[in-house]
Amino acid sequence: MNPIKRIGIILSVVFLIPVLFFSVYEISSLTKDERMIENIYQKQLEAILFSVNQYSDNTLSGWISKVESDYATHGNSGSLSEPMQLLLANTAIQMSFIIDTVEQRPTLKAFSFDSLRADSLRKPIETALSQNSSQIQQLIKYKRSGFQKAESIEAGWQRDEKFQLIIFIIESASGSHVAGLVINLENFIEDQIGPRLQIISKDQFILTAYNKKKNVTVYSTELRDTTSMNAALLTKDLWIFPDYALGIRTKGASLKQIVRERTTTNFILLVGLDVVLVVALILAFRSVKREVQLAQNKSDFVANVSHEIRTPLALISMFAETLELGRVKTEEKKQEYYSIISKETHRLTGIVNKILNFSQAEAGKKTLRIEEVSLQLEIREILKTYDFHLKNKGFEYYFHESQEVNVKADKAALTEIIINLIDNAIKYSGDKKRIEIQLSTELDAGVLAIKDFGLGISKENQKHIFDKFYRVSSGNLANSQGTGLGLSLVKQLIEQQNGRITVNSELGKGSTFLLYLPLVK
Ligand code: ADP
């Protein structure tokens, strides 16, 4: 397998997959946690409201027991002071009453500090009792089986909703008696439930009692609380007074909000971490890929260069030996051999120079002398020197001198760049032996285009040809000689002169290398 692919697979198996897996797991459990916390919280709120209801029930039971015990000790003949004491101690009790049978007739005996009110309530109570006789029978049954149950029943004064009629049964030697309490609900909530709510709220919760019918707040642990029932996180009816409800909500940010915020923060952190990790992995992979590629190119380079050097060396030593042994008879042949030796020596020198230039440029040891250079004159000069070489190789060349372009550049470096590009054009032109050179300007850059009509470069290879040691290793190009240093050197040199190089190329149609250099205004 390709080593780069392998590294990619290893990186993703070792880091990416476990982390992504973990993240997905965490994110899915975040919502689960959130739901669980909410659930627990809801239960807790329910428990709180339950305890308040329980407390109200207990209070009421206490009162009922008191009425029962008063009756047991004093009976219908008893003094008035006992029931009145209960009323005195609890302003929420508007009135208490008991139905006694006096001279064969059931009579409602009422106790109240407000006798006027008591008189006005008497009739509606009697009506309510007669309308709820089946309920009363039920209560008697309960009582006989030893269970004291109180019941809220509707009475005709319901227009004045703050009074609630509660009935229960008292057993005595003379039989079962219906007894009851008329409770002022607002007072009950204020005096009994209120202090309880205050204790529970403890700066954490806001507890509220509502009148459900009117949808108004009748009591709240928060001063001047005017919120409606909807604001509460949870509401429960008051068991004994079904028209009223208790509500609870948190002070400050609600737990739901806090949990939601935490979940969101955790979520963002997790996703952020994943993104960072993925980016880091991509970067790591890229740099590893680059290193592997470079190592590969380098080893290709060594093989290439050895080959490039061996060929001229072999030729030189062969012809030199032949000459040395005096086996060459004619002067003409000797001249031919000399010229081969000289040509191959030049080639060797060229290769060595290229390597030296490259390593100098790479180490940044090449100091450039930037001056005003006329591209036109520069190219003319190079072409003059190269004319023989180009024609000898069968090339036609055209220089379109439409305009004069002066740039800031180092002459020697520029010459080296242009020669490299022309050399490449010659090497990679195949049978289409034509080179065109053109000058132009673009914004504040002078542009030099060197165009060939040869083999061209694929899009994929265009990305790499400026890398050091890179050579196209497939197709027709594989056989041509080279070091893979030329374009890398060109790029370094042009960038040192504040310029840049780009390439336009199509496989099979040729390539245009464009050099941009800062214009002299
Ligand atoms: P070298 O020519 O020594 O191989 P270079 O750095 O000069 O190294 O070029 C890198 C690669 O770019 C070459 O191997 C070649 O495949 C491709 N290349 C460069 N110039 C041209 C061109 N004018 N036409 C087609 N391919 C080219």
- Looking at the structure, do residues 389 and 505 belong to the same domain, yes or no? yes
486 CA to middle of ligand 1, Å? 7
Q: Which atom of ligand 1 is nearest to the CA of 487?
A: 6
* pTM higher than the cut 0.95: no
Q: Which helix (H) or strand (E) holds 118?
A: helix 115-131
Backbone angles phi, psi at 337, to 5 degrees: -65, -40
Is residue 198 situated within a structural domain? Answer: no
Yes or no: say if 489 and 354 are a contact pair by the CB < 8 Å rule.
yes
462 CA to middle of ligand 1, Å? 10
pLDDT band (50, 70, 90) for residue 504: very high
SS (H, E, C) 151-194: EEECCCCCCCCCEEEEEEEEEECCEEEEEEEEEEHHHHHHHHHH
Q: Which atom of ligand 1 is nearest to the CA of 455?
A: 25
291 CA to middle of ligand 1, Å? 21
Long-range CB contacts (within 8 A, 24+) of 101-105: 101/174, 101/175, 102/76
Name, in order, each residue with C-beta under 8 angstroms of 377's C-beta and a sequence gap of 6 or more.
Answer: none
Is residue 355 situated within a structural domain? Answer: yes
- Looking at the structure, do residues 395 and 508 belong to the same domain, yes or no? yes
d(CA 186, CA 192): 10
Q: CATH code at 161?
A: 3.30.450
**Residue that has been written with the tokens 């960072």 in this structure:** 276
- Looking at the structure of the chain, the number of domains it has is 3
- Looking at the structure, do residues 86 and 144 belong to the same domain, yes or no? yes
Ligand 1 binding pocket mutation candidate from 474, 487, 501, 515 (most atoms within 8 A of CB): 487
Length of the chain: 521
Range of the structural domain that residue 375 is part of: 367-518
- Looking at the structure, do residues 454 and 491 belong to the same domain, yes or no? yes
Q: Which atom of ligand 1 is nearest to the CA of 420?
A: 7
474 CA to middle of ligand 1, Å? 12
Is residue 215 situated within a structural domain? Answer: no
Is residue 251 situated within a structural domain? Answer: no
* The predicted structure's pLDDT at residue 102: 65
Statement: residue 77 has pLDDT above 60: no
Backbone angles phi, psi at 156, to 5 degrees: -65, -10
Is residue 402 situated within a structural domain? Answer: yes
pLDDT band (50, 70, 90) for residue 142: very high
Name, in order, each residue with C-beta under 8 angstroms of 404's C-beta and a sequence gap of 6 or more.
Answer: 374, 376, 439
- Looking at the structure, do residues 385 and 495 belong to the same domain, yes or no? yes
pLDDT band (50, 70, 90) for residue 478: very low
Is residue 270 situated within a structural domain? Answer: no
d(CA 521, CA 82): 116
- The domain boundary, picked from 161, 187, 213, lies at 187
384 CA to middle of ligand 1, Å? 24
Q: Which atom of ligand 1 is nearest to the CA of 425?
A: 23
Q: CATH code at 296?
A: 1.10.287.130
State pLDDT tens for residues 346-396: 989 988 888 888 888 878 777 889 999 999 999 999 999 888 889 988 999
Q: Which atom of ligand 1 is nearest to the CA of 488?
A: 6
**Residue that has been written with the tokens 């002066």 in this structure:** 406
Statement: residue 79 has pLDDT above 60: no
Which SS3 state, helix, strand or coil, does residue 442 take?
Answer: strand
Q: CATH code at 450?
A: 3.30.565.10
- Looking at the structure, do residues 286 and 407 belong to the same domain, yes or no? no
Torsion of CA 193, 194, 200, 202, to 10 degrees: 180
- Looking at the structure, do residues 336 and 470 belong to the same domain, yes or no? no
Scored b (16 or more CB within 10 A) or e, 88-104 reads: eebebbbbbbbbbeeee
Yes or no: say if 457 and 472 are a contact pair by the CB < 8 Å rule.
yes
d(CA 91, CA 44): 32
456 CA to middle of ligand 1, Å? 9
Is residue 326 situated within a structural domain? Answer: yes
Q: Which residue has the higher pLDDT, 154 or 459?
A: 459
Mean pLDDT value across residues 492-519 = 94
- The domain boundary, picked from 329, 347, 366, lies at 366
Position 10, amino acid: I
- Looking at the structure, do residues 291 and 433 belong to the same domain, yes or no? no
- Residue nearest ligand 1's atom 25 by CA: 456
* Mean pLDDT, all residues of the chain: 86
- The domain boundary, picked from 366, 381, 402, lies at 366
- Looking at the structure, do residues 350 and 383 belong to the same domain, yes or no? no
Q: Which of 34-38, 206-210, 355-359, 363-367 has the lowest mean pLDDT?
A: 363-367
Yes or no: say if 288 and 7 are a contact pair by the CB < 8 Å rule.
yes
- Looking at the structure, do residues 336 and 437 belong to the same domain, yes or no? no
pLDDT band (50, 70, 90) for residue 494: very high
SS (H, E, C) 198-227: HHHHCCCEEEEEEECCCCEEEEECCCCCCC
Yes or no: say if 469 and 301 are a contact pair by the CB < 8 Å rule.
yes
Highest mean pLDDT among 99-108, 218-227, 377-386: 377-386
State pLDDT tens for residues 300-319: 888 778 877 888 899 899 99
pLDDT band (50, 70, 90) for residue 477: very low
pLDDT band (50, 70, 90) for residue 39: confident
d(CA 12, CA 6): 10
- Looking at the structure, do residues 434 and 348 belong to the same domain, yes or no? no
Name, in order, each residue with C-beta under 8 angstroms of 20's C-beta and a sequence gap of 6 or more.
Answer: 274
Position 326, amino acid: G
Query: What is the side-by-side order of every strand in the sheet holding 105-111?
Result: 105-111, 93-102, 175-184, 163-172, 151-153
Residues with CB under 6 A from ligand 1: 424-425, 428, 452, 454-457, 465, 470-472, 477, 482-488, 511
497 CA to middle of ligand 1, Å? 22
Query: What is the side-by-side order of every strand in the sheet holding 445-452?
Result: 396-400, 434-442, 445-452, 510-518, 500-506
- Looking at the structure, do residues 324 and 447 belong to the same domain, yes or no? no
Is residue 441 situated within a structural domain? Answer: yes
